[in-house]
Amino acid sequence: DEESFVGLTQPKDEGKLRELLEQDGEEFFLRDVQGWTAFANDEKYLDALEERRAQGSLADDGQFADAMARVADDALARFYFNGPAAAPAFEQASGVDLGNFEDLLPGGEIPWVSASVSVEDGGGRMDGAIGFAGDPEGFVGPSYEANLPDVAPAGALAYVSFKDLEGQLSKLRDAFSQTAPEIEPDIGRFENDFGVSLEEDIGPLLAGEGALYVRQGLFIPEVTLLLEVEDEANAMAVLDDIVAGAQKYVPLGPSRTVEIGGVEARQVDIEEPFSLFYAAFDGHLVVTTQRAGIEAIQEDGDRLSSDDRFEEALGGAGVPDETAGFAYVNIKDTIPYVVGLVGAGADVPDEVGRNLEPLDHLVVYSTRDGNTVEFSGFLAID
């Protein structure tokens, strides 16, 4: 029931440190501990520091060593949170037995977390890891080699890659049914109104590799969802049912069959100039805001996998061949495109423009090593 902490620093001027700490009128206690200035708001915490330190240091802890070995050594800042150690205090304060929430917390424990922020040639990086007590299968997608960049057209402003969202949605539903059972009737009503089952209809559409990407469009951006599907006819039927159910709640025009690039597709008018198009062909389901989103996949043009900016961004960020998912944003081309869409009335202030101008791209990806999920993000700066 107390706010307790200990800080360790090496100030050039201890008097100025005390002045800073006590500027809000709260008393702090300072003590030299092997060349470090330790400070706390009660001397008993400094006593505890010295007493516990005599029994060993944090560097001797195997979990801490493993957690910090997964992030950058030479960093501006490093972070560690000992979830398993915090769990008993959380259970005591909340009266909740975390072991009953294994569907929400793999292993029934709060995970440990480590992270670092560092500067590299050409940008800044954030690395991190989350260590679960149990198998996080379902909460984290499987490792896979992304093939859809070979299908998606070049020129993406943003691209998000994922696989087996079916398993993650199923795991999430199981967790919510245990922790918030009142949600289950709402899910049932959704399924009834839309005439589809999350488990049997929508889930299989998300079982394979998928991608969501954005490309430039004339009046509005092209936003495209690309999914690998085994049954094209069933995928179209599920989309038809979803659109029919959505028409009960939002003002959508009727779904009509159109031909786009030689394949049968559906067009659903939303509001000028917005429409939704979807089609299933060549083992893929495509849902997009532009006819060009379907045409570009059928054409023999350049693919995203051979897009120089995309390749250089993923290579520079160190993205491995297999990940649990990744995201890419072409910041340099996105900013002027967005400014052009909104018009001259939304001129970017000079200060903001100067700060945004050096930003080139952002890449984020995750991998899995047993019960540990690692993630990394690289922001490229010219």
**Residue 271's pLDDT is what?**
82
Torsion of CA 178, 182, 187, 192, to 10 degrees: 130
**pTM attached to this predicted model:** 0.89
Q: Extract the residue ranges of the chain whose pLDDT is less than 50.
A: none
Q: Closest Cα to residue 215, out of 315, 353, 319, 328? A: 328
**Residue 346's pLDDT is what?**
59
Q: How many CA atoms lie within 13 A of 211 on its CB side?
A: 28
Q: Is 297 helix (H, G, I), strand (E, B) or coil?
A: helix
pLDDT tens digits along 308-364: 999 999 999 999 999 999 999 999 999 988 888 876 555 667 888 788 889 999 999
Q: Are 332 and 359 in contact (CB under 8 A)?
A: yes
Integer Cα distance of 287 and 242 in angstroms: 12
Residue 217: other Cβ atoms inside 10 A: 17
Residue with tokens 């960049």: 149
Name the CA radius of gyration of the chain, rounded: 26
Integer Cα distance of 282 and 358 in angstroms: 40
Cβ-based neighbours of 83, under 8 Å, separated by 6 or more: 109, 110, 111, 112, 113, 131
Integer Cα distance of 280 and 150 in angstroms: 17
Integer Cα distance of 209 and 322 in angstroms: 13
- Token output for 115: 């992270």
Q: For residue 373, what are the β-bridge partners?
A: 130, 368
Strand 284-288 versus strand 222-228 pairing type: antiparallel
Q: How many CA atoms lie within 13 A of 88 on its CB side?
A: 1
**Residue 63's pLDDT is what?**
95
**Residue 184's pLDDT is what?**
79
**Residue 297's pLDDT is what?**
96
Integer Cα distance of 16 and 72 in angstroms: 31
